Structure 1
């Protein structure tokens, strides 16, 4: 059984998308959650982009990773989804030895017109979706630290 925690800095975009895709495609009793080191506000561009895929995350709340740890939650895998530039700040869930690092651009840093930002978010969304599907298909192929 896979029980995955997707972690990023604010739990406002990338980790929310990864959690939603994982839970959509999960088989049997596999499940996921997401959290951040500094919970922020859900990114409205991400909400719109996920809505385009038929997934409503508009009522999701951002969660703190250390709250999950204090609650004694356990996970089979922790996957960080911070971009390479933010890797220094990307949190690591305490007490877990199986950590996978995926790097995606941070939608909160995108600029341009509304449509230009949406296009950039769609690229990240689709990349995360493909990565999650590949992981579910073969979780042993991933590099575990």
Structure 2
């Protein structure tokens, strides 16, 4: 729903990759902004700014070199969308932290886990592991 994993990945990717790389996130369905995402990104000095959850139809551009999906439903939708396009689609399964219950700290730990998994995957995939992030 472009409310948790993909906006988190977008913010992290923007920080980790050069500003010349275009990054956009979208979901299969519309969702509501998640305050836990804001909290775990703030721990990294990041913000979603005025980001509002978007769907694939909301994207202004449909030309991408790579599409990374983080949930099974999104992966299926991306494969359907790109059937006739020359674009690479990768699936990086990520847990859904919204399913975690318990104390605020237990919930935050689940969101931090997703954030750290995303940072690691972005670094591995795009060769930024161990490099200083962009300010």
Q: Which consecutive residues of structure 1, in runs of 5 or more, have no partner in the other structure? A: 1-9, 139-145
What's the RMSD between the two structures over aligned residues? 1.7
TM-score by length of 2: 0.82
1 CA distance for matches of 2:61 and 2:70? 22
2 CA distance for matches of 1:51 and 1:129? 15
Measure how far apart 1:15 and its partner are: 0.3
Whose strand fraction is larger, Structure 1's or Structure 2's?
1
The residue that corresponds to 2:78 in the other structure is 92
The residue that corresponds to 2:94 in the other structure is 104
Aligned residues: 122
1:79 to 68, 73, 92: 68
Listed one character per residue, the Cα deviations across residues 44-103 of structure 1 (whole Å, up to 9, x for unaligned) are 1111000000001152111110232xx443110000011xxxx1x223161344100000
Q: Please identify, of 51-60 and 11-20, the stretch whose mean Cα deviation from structure 2 is larger.
A: 51-60
The residue that corresponds to 1:4 in the other structure is none
The residue that corresponds to 1:45 in the other structure is 36
The residue that corresponds to 1:7 in the other structure is none
TM-score by length of 1: 0.77
- What SS is found at the alignment partner of 2:106? helix
Measure how far apart 1:120 and its partner are: 1.1
